Structure 1
Amino acid sequence: MSSLILHHGRRSLKLHKWPNLRVSVQNPFSFSNSFSSTSAKDGRKGQIFTISYLIDSLGLTANLAESISRKVSFEERRNPDSILNLFRSYGFTDSQISSIITDYPRLLIIDAKKSFAHKLQVLQSRGASSSELTETVSKVPKILALKGDKTISRYYDFVKEIIEAGKSSKFEKLCHSMPQGMQENKIRNLSVLRELGVPQRLLFPLLISDRKLVCGKGKFEESLKKVVEMGFDPTTSKFVNALRVVQGISEKAVEEKVNVYKRLSFDVGDVCEMFKKYPVSMRLSEKKITQKCETLKKCGLLEDEILSVFPQCIGASEKKIVKSIETFKDLGFSKDEFAFMVKHFPMCINISAETVKKKTKFLVKKKNKFMVKKMKWPLKAVALYPQVLGLSMEKRIVPRCNVMKALMSKGLLGNRESKLPLKEAVLLCTDEEFLRMYVRNHDDKELVAELMALFNGDRVL
């Protein structure tokens, strides 16, 4: 079975240019009507507080703050304030702190005095300057999750070496930074990945991970060769994800998983392409694969439609899909409309319920402070152009609607509904097209300046 997948997924590459990779692999693996919901009021309260706190304290965007709040939440600011103040006392900028919290949000709820402060003291004792400390920790914040002073110090030194090696292109000196054995293998394997072009931002998590992905030798080299031959781009996270999957799954398990997909009408080529786009597809259990397909049927999709939509719904849990069905139903979309939306914009399933409600109500509401009545959308229009749900409220929807409102108020778009531009064209065209059609095409320089201010968000109607 794996040979069939290999036929679909393999590409010819010469690996001799990477001297650290010398294992020859003979048979490389390749890939080539139910509405329910649950709510937790206390959890939601903490999430709302967390979102507000992150926006106010660190200036994060609403979307990013919401994403972090799904991983960690709290209902009072004393401990997170202590964490942020401690960071600032060591010279971390708000930008660096934001990057750290985004990558390792659990820092906000650990004990600031007993755990966090001591770890920063240990790192400072390495003799690094303030700028070296802040740069190193902000690049690999999970160093602060390690236990034991010696472990923290050792990994800190190694991360600093990687940063300096990246600047000087002398990565080989890392081989002398760690003790013999497993850590030496890790250095060697990370060196191979770096030679392949894997960027630092992807190397760092592997460095401090407790997984065995880069600690072995033979298995690592064999798996790496397979992933390279499948054509994954080493500069992307998919490359590392694929490596993790290939190294953690046996040939027998591959065949069994392919057979599961085949029973659901996928062919080997489908499986290959799905693995290339979403490596995690080969780690789903048979139960989860079947459940996702059954749930998509509840959305009203036909079998061939499920085959095209399924890969993009891999990251959505059963609960998420069911919640999405309920959300769209509550907003007034019919089952057929929802099926159409999922088919043409599968990612709508992954958008949070709050975001879907906010954008839909904004676009179809008869009157609000951003749009006059004539600019409203019928609900059916949103169903026909579900891509608008993936647009940013702050960066696209509101600024463009403000521009259109200004033009309408000045009578520059005509007074009859038939003369108004199609709303989907206004929102879905590129920035350059929008500016050309509705902003820069006016002779009045003051008007153009006013519209540009609205477009850039410097002014709000």
Structure 2
Amino acid sequence: MAAATLRSVLRRNRLLLLFETCHLRDRLFLSSSVDAAAVTVGGTMSPDPHFMVEYLVNSCGFSPSEAAKVSKPLAHLRATEKPDAVLNFMRSQGFDGAGIRKVISADPRYLCYNVETNLAPKFQFLRDLGLSESDIVDAILKNNGILLYNIHRSLVPKLEMWESLLGSRELVLKHLKKTGWFFFSSVEKTLHPNLKFLRDECGIPEERVSLVLRSHPKLISQKPESLRALVARADELGMPRQSRMFMWTLDVFQKVSKEAFEAKAELMRSFGWSESEFSSAARKAPTFLCMSLDMMRRKMEFFINIVGYTPSFIASQPTILLYGLQKRVIPRFRVLEMLNTKGLWTRRGKFVNYVQLSNTKFREKIVLPYKEKVPELLDILRAGDEQ
């Protein structure tokens, strides 16, 4: 009995000793951890896990509320060595405070990057393409994702694909500096499948695709299922796939939703267009569908009530709806009306023909021959230019 009691006491004492040893070890570990983190912010460490808020305010010029939001992905940082290096590097590359804030706001993790192995090679890659320092700043501000991509696995394939689609590196660089989504589309998942669909299933020659993409590259950057939906809408309109207007129609439908399309069809029906006239006009000049409802209404009212055209005539000549009302159509109509009232305009022709003339041709053929007798003609055109 006594022996059993002794064994029990000894076992309890061993457990107590083990507990105290573990407790002491944990306290020593905690103490050393706190001591390691208790270096002042003036050095490279901080005891405050949220010290990045103050850092972002002082180093980047963020407001406290902005800094609080931006600092969330950086809560693990205790040292400012990498953020300091990143900010100094970006300033050396021509970024001002606003530019730095824009890039960091887009992805705060850039402050954790290694300058030498991650950032510097990408800036060198852009320089090797022929971009100047200011060009590189513009390109990154528009496409900050460039800093995320691997040069050889992502940037080079994207560059080669876009250069093939657009036909020149100059156009690629132009869009890169101006377009915020340009380098985000996947070559494998988006660009290649879309090009293959247009070429192989729709029968559209690659040169025709390229022609539209040079000014509207976003068309091929959308999800493949979205592009297929646009093709279905163009088919429903009755636009032949072999037509040179087919790709332009896809671009228009990318900007004009089904609801907006129907609202514009309804407006034109209210002016007397039939369903077939609306479809025919959309096939001839699809870009007129990009106009706002208000502008479409104003143009129709002017051509019907002032010029005297019938709705059916306008439907047969829909390109007339593409010209600016205040800067081109109205001034030219006033010029011809003034010449007519003074008995100087003896030749007659459809007003649409005069609207379609270039500015230079209209001045040479219609205005300059009468500038001595009717000097107001130039004032009318100038007034239109100032609209």
Give the shorter-chain TM-score range: 0.5 to 0.7
Once residues 459 and 246 of structure 1 are traced to their aligned partners in structure 2, the CA distance between those partners, rounded to angstroms, is 37
Once residues 126 and 385 of structure 2 are traced to their aligned partners in structure 1, the CA distance between those partners, rounded to angstroms, is 49
* 2:340 pairs with 1:408: yes
Alpha-carbon offset, residue 300 of structure 1: 4.2
Q: Which amino acid aligns with 1:313?
A: V
Alpha-carbon offset, residue 220 of structure 1: 1.5
Secondary structure, in 3 states, of the residue corresponding to 2:383?
A: coil
Q: Is the 1:295–1:321 contact (alpha carbons within 8 Å) kept by the matching residues of 2?
A: no
Aligned to 1:44: none
* 2:292 pairs with 1:352: yes
Q: Is the 1:189–1:215 contact (alpha carbons within 8 Å) kept by the matching residues of 2?
A: no
Q: Is the 2:256–2:289 contact (alpha carbons within 8 Å) kept by the matching residues of 1?
A: no
Change (3 A) 1:384 1:394: same
Q: TM-score with structure 1 length normalisation?
A: 0.51
Q: Is the 2:203–2:241 contact (alpha carbons within 8 Å) kept by the matching residues of 1?
A: no
Comparing 280-289 with 253-262, which one deviates more in the overlay? 253-262
Equivalent of 1:248 in 155, 160, 185:
185
Q: Is the 1:341–1:386 contact (alpha carbons within 8 Å) kept by the matching residues of 2?
A: yes
Once residues 152 and 411 of structure 1 are traced to their aligned partners in structure 2, the CA distance between those partners, rounded to angstroms, is 72
Alpha-carbon offset, residue 209 of structure 1: 4.2
* 2:156 pairs with 1:216: no
* 2:379 pairs with 1:453: yes
Aligned to 2:121: 185
Equivalent of 1:386 in 318, 323, 337:
318
Q: Which amino acid aligns with 1:342?
A: A
Equivalent of 1:290 in 186, 207, 228:
228
Larger radius of gyration: 2
Aligned to 2:279: 339
Alpha-carbon offset, residue 421 of structure 1: 2.8
Aligned CA-pair RMSD: 4.3
Once residues 459 and 234 of structure 1 are traced to their aligned partners in structure 2, the CA distance between those partners, rounded to angstroms, is 31
Q: Is the 2:204–2:242 contact (alpha carbons within 8 Å) kept by the matching residues of 1?
A: no
Once residues 204 and 365 of structure 1 are traced to their aligned partners in structure 2, the CA distance between those partners, rounded to angstroms, is 48
Secondary structure, in 3 states, of the residue corresponding to 2:374?
A: helix
Alpha-carbon offset, residue 211 of structure 1: 1.8
Change (3 A) 1:205 1:263: closer
Aligned to 1:437: 365
The sequence identity of aligned pairs, in percent, is 14
Change (3 A) 1:361 1:389: same
Comparing 357-366 with 242-251, which one deviates more in the overlay? 242-251
Q: Which amino acid aligns with 2:203?
A: F
Equivalent of 1:423 in 335, 347, 351:
351
Change (3 A) 1:152 1:405: farther
Equivalent runs, 1:218-233 vs 2, <5 Å: 218=152, 219-230=154-165, 231-233=167-169
Q: Is the 2:138–2:177 contact (alpha carbons within 8 Å) kept by the matching residues of 1?
A: no
Q: Is the 2:158–2:183 contact (alpha carbons within 8 Å) kept by the matching residues of 1?
A: yes
Equivalent runs, 1:61-100 vs 2, <5 Å: none
Equivalent of 1:257 in 178, 191, 194:
194
Comparing 265-274 with 152-161, which one deviates more in the overlay? 152-161
Gaps of 5+ in 2: 1-56, 63-68, 72-82, 97-113
The Cα offsets for residues 377-399 of structure 1, whole Å up to 9 and x where unpaired, read as 22233223322222222221121
Secondary structure, in 3 states, of the residue corresponding to 2:344?
A: coil
The Cα offsets for residues 111-158 of structure 1, whole Å up to 9 and x where unpaired, read as xxxxxxx99x949xxxxxxxxxxxxxxxxxxxxxx9689899975664
Gaps of 5+ in 1: 1-117, 124-145, 162-177, 367-374
The Cα offsets for residues 21-54 of structure 1, whole Å up to 9 and x where unpaired, read as xxxxxxxxxxxxxxxxxxxxxxxxxxxxxxxxxx
Change (3 A) 1:322 1:186: farther
Change (3 A) 1:207 1:312: closer
Q: Which amino acid aligns with 1:307?
A: F
Aligned residues: 291
Once residues 320 and 164 of structure 2 are traced to their aligned partners in structure 1, the CA distance between those partners, rounded to angstroms, is 38
Alpha-carbon offset, residue 254 of structure 1: 4.9
Q: Is the 2:273–2:311 contact (alpha carbons within 8 Å) kept by the matching residues of 1?
A: yes
Q: Is the 1:232–1:239 contact (alpha carbons within 8 Å) kept by the matching residues of 2?
A: no
Once residues 239 and 384 of structure 2 are traced to their aligned partners in structure 1, the CA distance between those partners, rounded to angstroms, is 43
The Cα offsets for residues 397-432 of structure 1, whole Å up to 9 and x where unpaired, read as 121122122112223235xxxx53310112111122
* 2:140 pairs with 1:206: yes
The Cα offsets for residues 33-79 of structure 1, whole Å up to 9 and x where unpaired, read as xxxxxxxxxxxxxxxxxxxxxxxxxxxxxxxxxxxxxxxxxxxxxxx
